[in-house]
Chain A
Amino acid sequence: MQGKVLYIDYEKCTGCRECELACSVFHTGASNPSRSRIKVLKWEWEGIYLPMTCQNCEDPFCVEVCPTKACHKDPELNRVVIDKDKCIGCKTCIVACPFGAPLFDKAEGVSIKCDYCDGDPQCVRFCETKAIRYIDASEMNATKQYAAAEKLLDTLPKQSIPS
């Protein structure tokens, strides 16, 4: 994978949902989280908040099932885009996506999804805790590896770690 991707660290997310507001204002002009491309999933009993958005898959199933080719790959920004002028609002992409990423915008009657705000994601700009970052795909792997290693170290008894 090449290009930039959204990296989400759920441990930093406080569930303030500012990302949803920023996304909605940028794309629709309205401060309406229900029209946001990013959704903060909440597991209150666990104290976990997870901002979820399109994974921009390598081989996207939504592109395969879209009957109008409105949903297509944009290799330049390494993203999957829905062309609002071609979309007929059949919701096939919504049913097909295993992550439930595309959403139906009732106001416009079309499917919507994260498009990285054309290279300047607003959710990243407005995230106070930096739980969402827009980083290079290769850097993301390294970040995840570091995070996994740190967790592993935490589980080990302190005396067993060589100084």
Chain B
Amino acid sequence: MAIGLLMHWMGYIPNGLKPVILWGPILVAIGAFFLVLKLGVKRRFLNTIMNPMTSWLSRGFYILSVCIIIGGIDFLISLLPYLNIDFEFWSWLITALDIISFIFALATAIYTGILIMSVRYVPFWDTWLLPALFTVSALSTGAMATMLVSTGYNIFTTSTGFPEQMANTLSSIEQVIIVIEALVLASYLFTRYRLKEYAMYSVQLLLSGNLKYVFWMGIIICGFLFPIILEGIYSRLHDQHFLLFLAGAFLLLGGFFIRYVVIYAGIKEEHPMQRWLENRRFLEVLNKNTDFQAYRREL
């Protein structure tokens, strides 16, 4: 939705075609519905509003609510021209709603990373690079979704409602964002690897452990390499739309895998007692190997 509004402000999307790109709040509402389904006591989901001072889950509830409600109103107003209702005299209100929708759409993208980061005792998540990664990934998938929707609209209505120049601009932005995303991911993994042992284990889990296939094939090849190559070919062969849809499918899948591996690679710092036991075990082995007790008796 944020990318769509940005394109609208850049003059690529005429007012009449705004409803085609403003369905983001509907998807967010569906996602929020699934979040409610995951609760232990679903009927009490409104209790979440109680603690916005310290809880990011509570703050997220407000962010998603405003995004769904204001975005939904924005979407409904954009449908008015189809009902032959003149809304030109409300243009200031529509601009205000667009700006609020844009801000809260961005906040929705950033919030998920911050929510996960706020769990302090998982060293792999405890960095601002995580919200940065999630945000860049959201922008990348958002840009691709906007491009797919506009191209799909042009194909199925056999019109040129969305100018071809918009697809070119979005494609260039998309490729730059993918490179930025790869850089943020690399810095994220590098800083985590160097930080603490549990963050290092998480990175090892991704690069060479149980999640290595998801990481290398799902994110690096499917999420980064394929979309860049396919978009590069598409920029030369504009009539081969299947290339764009293929790139889009790979990129959206890559975005899903990034979130998947970040969640599954998070390892909590070990229980203090567990560490103590491991140290004790290590010392026992050391004692046996060096006959440390005999050495002490001699002293």
Contacts and interface: CB of A to CB of B under 8 A. Distances in A.
B47 A68 contact: yes
Interface of A: 10, 41, 43, 46, 48, 50, 52, 61, 63-70, 86-92, 95-100, 104, 108-111
B126 interface: no
Contacts of A41: 271, 273
B275 interface: no
For the complex of A and B, 3 pairs with smallest distance between CB atoms: A89-B40, A109-B40, A67-B58
Contacts of B268: 98, 100
Nearest to B273: A50
Interface residues of B, number: 27
Contact of A67 (B57, B120, B121): B57
B55 A67 contact: yes
Interface of B: 38-41, 44-45, 47-48, 50-51, 54-58, 61, 118-121, 268-269, 271, 273, 277, 280-281
B55 A65 contact: yes
Given A48-B277, A67-B47, A104-B40, 18 more contacts: A61-B120, A65-B118, A66-B55, A69-B51, A70-B47, A87-B40, A88-B39, A88-B40, A88-B45, A89-B39, A90-B39, A91-B40, A95-B119, A96-B121, A98-B121, A99-B271, A109-B39, A109-B41
Nearest to A91: B40
A88 B44 contact: yes
Contacts of A91: 40
A65 B51 CA distance: 8
Contacts of B45: 88
